[in-house]
Amino acid sequence: MADAMTNPIDFALGQRTRFYEELGAFLRIPSVSAKSEHDGDTERAAEWVREQLVRAGLEAETIATPGHPVVVGEWRGAGAEAPTVLIYGHYDVQPAEPLELWDSPPFEPEVRDGRIYARGSADDKGQLFLHIKALEAHLATRGRLPVNVIVLAEGEEEVGSPNLVPFVKEYRDRLAAQTVVISDSAMFAPGLPSLLFSLRGLAYFEIHATGPASDLHSGAYGGAVLNPANALARVVAGLHDESGRITIPGFYDDVLTPSDETLAGIRGLPFDADEYASEVGTVPTGGEVAFSPLERLWIRPSCDVNGMLSGYTGEGAKTVLPGKAMAKVSFRLVPDQSPERVRKLLEEHLARVTPAGVTMEVVELHGGRPWSARLEGPLFTAATRALERSFGATPVLTGEGGSIPIVVELEEILGASSLLLGFALPGANMHAPNEWFAKDCFEKGIDTLIHLYDELAAL
C-alpha cells in the first residue's frame, strides 16, 4: 500500500475528497452514549472506527466493557527503542436536543460557509478522525510511522467515562506509552493554534427537592405549604453571592493560584468582549466580577444550572403547587479541587440551608478532576514545531473551561505526559445545536498531526 512517490502531506491533500466523505459517514451515526435507545448506533460507530484503523494500516480490535466498547488500534513497527504515543479520542457524542434549534439535522452533515455542521463534528469524532487520517497518510506513503502508536477510542466520554479507568488499569501493560495526545479542544482563535495548559474538572449533580406528598392546588395550599420549586430556586440562587462568588463554605480552599507566567500569558491574549458578545449573543457577565472572562473560564471554578424541571411546563396555566422539583447543577473545578470534596461540601451546605418543609437530595451524575500541563520539555517543543509548520504561527498557551476527566487518570495509570492540542474554533457549539468544524481546520489539523508524529520521534 506504500506510495513512495509522494509524502504524507501531499497524500492527505490528494485524498481530501475521500476523507470528507468518510467523515460524513462517521458523523451520520447517531452515537449518543447517554441514551440507551442509541446503543446500537454507538456500537456501530465503534466498529466504524475499528475498520478505519485497519484501513489506515493498524491492527485494531473492539473490546467490550460493561458499557459501550473501547476501540484499540496499534502499530508497533518503530521498535522497542522508539517512543510510544497513545492517541486518545471518543466516538460518542452529546444528545442533539433541542432538535428544533438545529438549522440542519444533527446527524446529516451539511457544509455551509466552509463549516461542516453536525453533532460530533468538533466533539470529538472530527478530531479523532484527523489522527486516523494522519496515521493513514504516514503509512500509505512510507509504510511506517515514526513512533509506535496506540489509538484508544472510547464511547462513553459524554457520560463521564465510567468504564474507561477500569479498562486502562486492566490493559495497563498493553497501553503503556510515554506520551498521550488528545485532540478534543479548541484553538484560541482562527489562525492562532493553541496548546492547553489546563483543563477544568467537573462535579455534576442532580438536586431533588421534595415537599408535599403530591402536587397540590396552588390556590388551596399556596402560602401555607412551602413550594419545593420556590425552595429549590432559592437554594440554586444562593449558590452564588452578589459578586458571582460561589457561597459554599470551603469551596475555594483547594483553588490554586496559577504561576505569574501563566497569569501573564492569559493577560497577553487578545480578548475582544464585543466579538465574544456577538459570537455568543450576550455579554460575558457570568462568574466572579473580580476576574477577567478568560480567568473565569480557565483558572476559576464555576457553577451552572444545566437543567431545571418542576410542575407543569406545557401550554397554558395550570395552577399547581408541584410536589417536587429537580435541578441539574454542575461545577467546573480547577487544581486542586476534587469532585469528591465538592460533593461533600455541597451536601453539608444543603443540609444547612434547606428550609423546614422540604427535603433536598443530591445525586452525583458525573465527576472528573482538573488537569494541568507540564509547560516545559521536549513534548511541548515537538507540538509547538508541528503547529508552526502547519499554521505558520507560534501557538499560544490557553486554558480550557471544559473537562476531559480521563487525562489525569491516563497520566497517573500509564505514567505518561499529556499533550492536548485541538483544532475546533471558538463558537463551535460543542454540546449545543449547530455544532460545526471548519474545513480549514480539518485540513490544517491533519497536516499538523502528520508533522507531530515526525517531531515526536525525536523525543
What are the Cα distances from residue 246, in Å, to 74, 230, 300, 329, 350?
45, 20, 11, 13, 13
Catalytic residue among 22, 74, 157, 455: 157
Among 48, 204, 371, 391, binds a copy of itself (CB under 8 A): 204
Task: Pick between residue 19 and residue 331 the one whose CB is nearest to a copy of itself.
Answer: 331
Among 100, 113, 173, 285, binds a copy of itself (CB under 8 A): 285
> E-assigned strands of 21-161?
59-63, 70-75, 84-90, 110-112, 115-117, 148-154
Establish if 288 lies at the interface with a copy of itself (CB under 8 A): yes
Q: Could you say which residues in the range 172-191 bind a copy of itself, by CB under 8 A? A: 186
Q: Could you say which residues in the range 205-234 bind a copy of itself, by CB under 8 A? A: 211-227, 229-230, 232-234
Q: Give the C-alpha separation, 114 to 187, whole Å.
A: 17
Task: Pick between residue 96 and residue 379 the one whose CB is nearest to a copy of itself.
Answer: 96
Q: Least Å distance between CB 216 and a copy of itself?
A: 5
Q: Least Å distance between CB 197 and a copy of itself?
A: 15
| Ramachandran angles phi, psi of 114, nearest 5° | 75, 15
Q: Least Å distance between CB 309 and a copy of itself?
A: 4
Among 9, 192, 305, 459, binds a copy of itself (CB under 8 A): 305
What are the Cα distances from residue 417, in Å, to 31, 40, 186, 195, 366?
29, 34, 20, 14, 24
Q: Work out the end-to-end distance of the chain between its first and last CA atoms, rounded to an integer number of angstroms.
A: 28
Among 49, 140, 303, 346, binds a copy of itself (CB under 8 A): 303
Establish if 320 lies at the interface with a copy of itself (CB under 8 A): yes
Query: 16-27 and 125-142 helices cross at what angle (nearest 10)?
Result: 140
Establish if 438 lies at the interface with a copy of itself (CB under 8 A): no
Alpha helices in 59-204 (DSSP H): 125-142, 164-170
Q: Least Å distance between CB 445 and a copy of itself?
A: 18
Stretch that binds a copy of itself, among 39-47, 132-140, 196-204, 378-386 (CB under 8 A): 196-204
Q: Could you say which residues in the range 10-69 bind a copy of itself, by CB under 8 A? A: 34-35
C-alpha cell at 59: 491492527
357: left (phi over 0), alpha (psi -120 to 50) or beta: left
Residues 292-328 as b or e (16 or more Cβ within 10 Å = b) = bebbbbbbbbbbeeeeeebbeeeeeeeebbbbbbbbb
| Ramachandran angles phi, psi of 256, nearest 5° | -90, 150
Task: Pick between residue 366 and residue 444 the one whose CB is nearest to a copy of itself.
Answer: 366
For 350-379, the DSSP string reads HHHHPPTT-EEEEEEEEEE--EE---SSHH
Among 42, 94, 183, 337, binds a copy of itself (CB under 8 A): 94
**Residue 206 annotated to the active site:** no
**Residue 92 annotated to the active site:** yes
Among 83, 160, 258, 445, binds a copy of itself (CB under 8 A): 160
Residues 91-109 as b or e (16 or more Cβ within 10 Å = b) = bbbbbbeeeeebeeebbeb
Q: Could you say which residues in the range 240-259 bind a copy of itself, by CB under 8 A? A: 240
Q: Could you say which residues in the range 99-128 bind a copy of itself, by CB under 8 A? A: 101, 123
What are the Cα distances from residue 210, in Å, to 85, 206, 344, 347?
50, 13, 20, 16
Q: Could you say which residues in the range 391-410 bind a copy of itself, by CB under 8 A? A: 400-403
Nearest alpha-carbon partner for 390 in 323, 434, 315, 445: 445
Among 318, 348, 377, 381, binds a copy of itself (CB under 8 A): 318
Q: Least Å distance between CB 159 and a copy of itself?
A: 6
Task: Pick between residue 217 and residue 344 the one whose CB is nearest to a copy of itself.
Answer: 217
Q: Least Å distance between CB 126 and a copy of itself?
A: 15
Among 130, 321, 346, 456, binds a copy of itself (CB under 8 A): 321
Q: Could you say which residues in the range 345-374 bind a copy of itself, by CB under 8 A? A: 355-358, 365-366
By annotation, the residues acting in catalysis are 92, 157
